[in-house]
Amino acid sequence: MAELSESAGIPVPTIKYYIREGLVAPGQPTGRNQADYTEEHVRRLKLVRALVEYGGLSIAVLRDLIARIDNPDLEAFDLLGAAQKTVTQAKDPRPGPYKDRAERRLHDLLTERGWRIRTGDPAYRTAVGVLATLDEVGRQDMLDVLGSYAEAAERIAEIDVGLVGDVSDREHAVEIVIIGTSVGDTLIASLRRLAQASVGERLYT
Amino acid sequence: MAELSESAGIPVPTIKYYIREGLVAPGQPTGRNQADYTEEHVRRLKLVRALVEYGGLSIAVLRDLIARIDNPDLEAFDLLGAAQKTVTQAKDPRPGPYKDRAERRLHDLLTERGWRIRTGDPAYRTAVGVLATLDEVGRQDMLDVLGSYAEAAERIAEIDVGLVGDVSDREHAVEIVIIGTSVGDTLIASLRRLAQASVGERLYT
C-alpha cells in the first residue's frame, strides 16, 4: 500500500478510507500485511480524488455511482442517464406562488428550446428553485435573459455530448459523463469568472 | 419579528441567526421586546437566504461580502471585482508536473482569447487545479475542447456583464454580481443538465 500511495500521490490513510467506503476495491492479499495493487487501483484512486476535490461530490453520492458502474446489468444509455442524475444535487423549491410561476416559466423555456420536460429530474427541480428564488429577490433582469443563458448552456451540452462518443464503450462513456458533468461545472464556473473580469474591463475601463 | 418572519417567509430562529452573524441589521428598538423592521430588512433577509440556498455561499463568505457592500469608501468598480472574487472558492492545485503543465495550458488559452492573466485570482488558481486534475485522470479529450468551453463561458460572461449595467448604481451593480455569479452558477449547471439530456437523446435514440 505504501507503493500504491507513492504511485497515486495519495496518502495511505486516504486510500484506506476510500477502500473502507467501497469506492476502491481492496488489493489481492499476498501475505499477512501485504496486498497486490494494479494500475486499475491507481486509476480509480485518482478518479475518486478528482471527483471529491473538483467535482464537489460527497462520499455517499460517489458510493452510489460506483455501485451503478460496477453493475453490469445496467444498459449503457440508462447508466449514463443515471450517472448524470446522480451527480446533480436537487434543491427543491418551497411551495407557493413563486414556485408556480417558476414552473410555468421553465416549462415555456423548455418548450421553446425543444428540450424534454421531465419534472422529476433533479436538474428540473433545481432550475425551478433557482427561478423562484430569482423572482423572489426581484431579479427580473436575470429572468429576462434566461433564454440567452439557456442557449449558452445548450452549446456547452453539445460539447459535453460530443465528448461521450461511442456509448457502447461503457466504462469510458460513464467516466466522461461523471467527470465532465461534475468537474466540468467547476471548470465552466472558473472560466466564466476569468471571462467576466476581462469582458467587464473591456466595457468599463 | 413575528411579522418580519411572516413577510419574508423565513422562520424567526433563522432571522435571529442572520442578525447575530451580522448579515442582517437588527431592527430599531421600540420597546422591551419590540423592534421595527423595514422593507429593507425583508429584502436583505431574502437575499441572504437566496445566496445560502442556491448560491452555495457560506456564512463566513457572506459576512465578508456584506462588510464590503456596507463600506462606502470602496469604489464601485473595485467593489465589483472584490465581490466577484469573494464568491469564487479557490481550490489550489497540488505542486508538481501536472500543475506546471496546467499553468502553461491556461496561460496559452487566456492569451489566445485575449483574457487578462492574473495568477493570484481564485478563479485562475481553481482553473489550474481543474486542468491539472483532468490531465492526471487522463481526460485529454476534455482538455482538447477547452477552447470551445472557454468560448461558451465568454458568451455567458457577456450576458452577465450586460446585466450589471450602470456601475454607478453601486447597490444594484454589486447585488447583480453576487447573485448573478453564485446563484447563476447553479442556474447554468441545471440548464446544462437539462440540455444534456435532450441533446443526448437527439443523438443516441
Report the SS3 class of residue A55: coil
| Residue A196 to residue B160, Cβ atoms within 8 A | yes
- Picking from A130, A183, A205, the nearest residue to B190 by CB comes out as A130
Total count of residues recorded for chain A: 205
Interface confidence (ipTM) of the complex: 0.92
Least-confidence region, from A78-87, A90-99, B32-41: A78-87
Using a CB-CB distance cutoff of 8 angstroms, which residues of chain B are in contact with residue A198?
Answer: 113-116, 157
pLDDT number for residue B78 = 78
Average pLDDT of chain B, as a whole number: 90
pLDDT tens digits, A3-41: 999 989 999 999 999 999 999 999 999 988 889 999 999
Contact A53 B142 (CB under 8 A): no
pLDDT confidence tier of residue A76, bands split at 50, 70 and 90: confident
Angstroms from B170 CA to nearest CA on chain A: 14
CATH classification code of A2-53: 1.10.1660.10
pLDDT of residue A90: 83
Q: Which of B9, B114, B149 is facing A187, going by the closest CB pair?
A: B149
- Say how many C-beta atoms besides its own lie within 10 A of residue A28's C-beta: 11
Contact between chains at A123 and B187 (C-beta distance less than 8 A): no
Q: pLDDT tens digit string along A181-204?
A: 999 999 999 999 999 988 888 876
A chain contacts of residue B123, beta-carbon cutoff 8 Å: 189-191, 193-194, 197
Compute the nearest-CA separation of A55 from chain B (Å). 9
Q: What is the pLDDT of residue B85?
A: 85
pLDDT for A205 = 63
- Give the start-to-end residue ranges of the domains of chain B: 2-53, 85-204
Tell me how close the Cα of B2 comes to any Cα of chain A, in angstroms: 20
Percent of chain A with pLDDT over 90: 61
> In terms of CA atoms, which chain B residue is nearest residue A155?
B152
Interface test with A, best of B89, B137, B166 (most A CBs within 10 A): B137
Q: What integer is the mean pLDDT of A94-106?
A: 95
Residue in chain A nearest B129 by alpha carbon: A54
Residue B203 vs residue B64, higher pLDDT: B64
**What is the pLDDT at residue A74?**
75
Provide mean pLDDT across the span B103-116: 96
Nearest to B14 by CA among B57, B59, B54: B59
CA distance B82 to chain A (A): 11
Confidence of residue B165 (pLDDT cuts 50, 70, 90): confident
State the average pLDDT for chain A.
Answer: 90
DSSP state of B57: -
Alpha-helical (H) ranges within B35-169 are 39-53, 59-69, 76-86, 97-113, 122-136, 140-144, 146-164
Task: Decide if pLDDT at A170 tops 90.
Answer: no
Interchain CB distance below 8 Å, B205 and A77: yes
* Residue of chain B with shortest Cα separation from A160: B196
Angle at B114 between CA B108 and CA B119, to 5 degrees: 60
Residues of A in contact with B84 (CB under 8 A): 193, 196-197
Nearest neighbour of A194 by CB, restricted to B43, B115, B189:
B115
Of A143, A25, A71, A184, the closest CA to residue B187 belongs to A143
Classify residue A97 by burial, with Cβ atoms within 10 Å: 0-12, 13-18, 19+: exposed
Highest mean pLDDT of the ranges A127-131, A170-174, B39-43, B81-85: A127-131
CB atoms A186 and B162 under 8 Å: no
Mutate to test the interface with B, among A117, A192, A204, A205 (most CBs of B within 10 A): A192
Q: What confidence score (pLDDT) does residue B205 get?
A: 63
Query: Region A55-65: what's the mean pLDDT?
Result: 89
User: Do residues B110 and B116 make contact, with C-beta atoms less than 8 angstroms apart?
Assistant: yes
Average pLDDT over residues B85-103: 90
Residue B131: pLDDT above 90? Answer: yes
**Contact assignment for B161 to A200 by CB distance below 8 Å:** yes
Q: Give the mean pLDDT of A91-107.
A: 94
